[in-house]
Amino acid sequence: MKAVFLTAGAAGMYCGSCMHDNAMAKALRQQGVDCLLQPVYTPIRTDEASVAGDRLFFGGIHIYLLQQMPWLHWVPLPIRRLLDWKPLLELVTRRAASTDAKQLGDLAISMLRGSEGRQSDEVERLVDWLSDEIKPDAIIFSNLLIGGCLPLVRQRLPDARLVVLLQGDDIFLDYLPEASRAEAIRLCRELVPTVDRFAVHSQFYAEKMGRLLSIPPDRMLVTPLSIDLRPFQQGLAEDASRSRDEFRLGYLARIAPEKGLHHLVEGFVRLAVQPDHQDLSLHVAGWLGENNRSYFDDLQAKIASAGLIDRFFYHGSPSLEEKVNLLRSFDLMSVPTDYHEPKGLFVLESLAAGVPVIQPEHGAFPELIASTGGGLLVRPSDADHLCEMIQHLKSDPMLRKQLGQTGAQRVAERHAIEQAAKHMKQICFD
């Protein structure tokens, strides 16, 4: 059983989808699948050892320049290949902001047109490699937006099983200008008949993307979101900085408005100034792009103006070991997103560390909380309700312990990467 897993790199930041794809590829290999994790756009960045191949397709610099300067198509290929040189991509993306989809509407549409777009020779190169060198039995696409090559793949590899994961495609589409968004959705719908199976991590997202892209229900499969539990099963490092009287409210996600850190800061400020909550501190970790620096600075200024800056801690973008130990140091974790999250890996990671969560009642979160029993739901964007639930759990250590233990147990039972890989293996080869 041979599979190629095409995963879209996210420039210089840790990407939840990349990390999940990397863990899935490793787990598939452990179950006897000859699985090649193949990056597109940029090399992937994960907080554990990457199993991705060294080759790169659709190099981000290359396809962008082809879009802006179509005459580059006539430059000899060996010269253009220099644009895909890994050190160059790493240099360019090291301090890159997250992709601004509003500026990339034309590029997204061109990529979805596949062999009819301005990157057609790059599409041909990928499909030649798949059909002539690798000859996989299955190809997994980490999202549909990289699927412009699907019609040509179907033509050249008629017997291969083509599987597309849907795990945030709508977020990119929603950032496009309306005309570009409508055209991109139309092109995505045209790709649907070439796909054998679509896989999602929640029923919420299955229904949403089914409606948006007109995907037949019998081709949509819900596979549980999962994580590699092994890092969470190792010993806990001693946290010398922890005060016995400190109650740590935590946040672990990308620093961006859509992730809702401002809601958590609002709740923290409201509570921490009160005499009963002098022990409350806020610990934040996650990748911060330059485009969101002013957003983060404004939040810090708000905390400082309340006289609470000495109880606020930013831990940067932690390594895997640092992340596990940081999560274990939290008493409670919340990422109160504004957008409807299709996954929520940070929920599983927090619960695997034995830490209960408070999440908004939208997106995939109700299903995750129902499945794990590891937290509470609050009304979205409701600061009063968020404060109420933080106070409720802060004042009840037995309930926190119960939620944390139940969550950890059910994550191990229902959301381990090995179980998800077994399901993906069935999707690809049965």
The span from the CA of 22 to the CA of 147, in Å, is: 19
The pTM assigned to this predicted structure is 0.86
Confidence grade of residue 53 (pLDDT, cut at 50, 70, 90): low
For tokens 């209960």, what's the residue?
356
Q: What is the mean pLDDT of residues 15-29?
A: 82
What does the CA dihedral 368, 374, 377, 383 come to, rounded to 10 degrees?
-120
Tokens of 130: 């798949």
The top-scoring range by mean pLDDT among 21-25, 233-237, 420-424 is 420-424
Instruction: Give pLDDT, residue 112.
Output: 93
Q: Which residue, among 235, 201, 206, 233, has the nearest Cα to 218 in the 3D structure?
A: 206
Q: By the 8 A CB rule, do 310 and 300 touch?
A: no
Cα 86 to Cα 57, 94, 105, 232, distances in angstroms:
11, 12, 25, 32
Cα 308 to Cα 282, 387, 389, distances in angstroms:
10, 17, 21
pLDDT at 40 over 60: yes
Q: By the 8 A CB rule, do 39 and 65 touch?
A: no
Percent of the chain with pLDDT over 70: 83
The span from the CA of 357 to the CA of 341, in Å, is: 15
Q: By the 8 A CB rule, do 306 and 272 touch?
A: yes
Q: What is the mean pLDDT of residues 318-342?
A: 94
Q: Which residue has the higher pLDDT, 2 or 97?
A: 2
Instruction: Give pLDDT, residue 21.
Output: 86
Q: Which residue has the higher pLDDT, 40 or 58?
A: 40
Confidence grade of residue 83 (pLDDT, cut at 50, 70, 90): low
| End-to-end CA gap in the chain | 11
Q: Which residue, among 86, 81, 78, has the nearest Cα to 65 in the 3D structure?
A: 81
| pLDDT tens per residue across span 385-418 | 999 999 999 999 999 999 999 999 999 999 999 9
Instruction: Give pLDDT, residue 111.
Output: 86
pLDDT at 382 over 70: yes
Confidence grade of residue 240 (pLDDT, cut at 50, 70, 90): very low
Confidence grade of residue 45 (pLDDT, cut at 50, 70, 90): low
Q: What is the mean pLDDT of residues 312-320?
A: 93
Instruction: Give pLDDT, residue 308.
Output: 97
Residue type, 259: K
Confidence grade of residue 50 (pLDDT, cut at 50, 70, 90): low
The span from the CA of 222 to the CA of 282, in Å, is: 35
pLDDT at 166 over 90: yes
CA angle 35, 37, 38 (to 5 degrees): 130
| pLDDT tens per residue across span 241-255 | 555 689 999 999 999
Beta-carbon contacts of residue 368 (< 8 Å; ≥ 6 apart)? 202, 225, 344, 347, 348, 359
Q: What is the mean pLDDT of residues 34-62?
A: 72
| pLDDT tens per residue across span 343-375 | 999 999 999 999 999 999 999 999 999 999 999
| pLDDT tens per residue across span 244-288 | 689 999 999 999 999 999 999 999 999 999 999 999 999 999 999
Tokens of 149: 């090559």
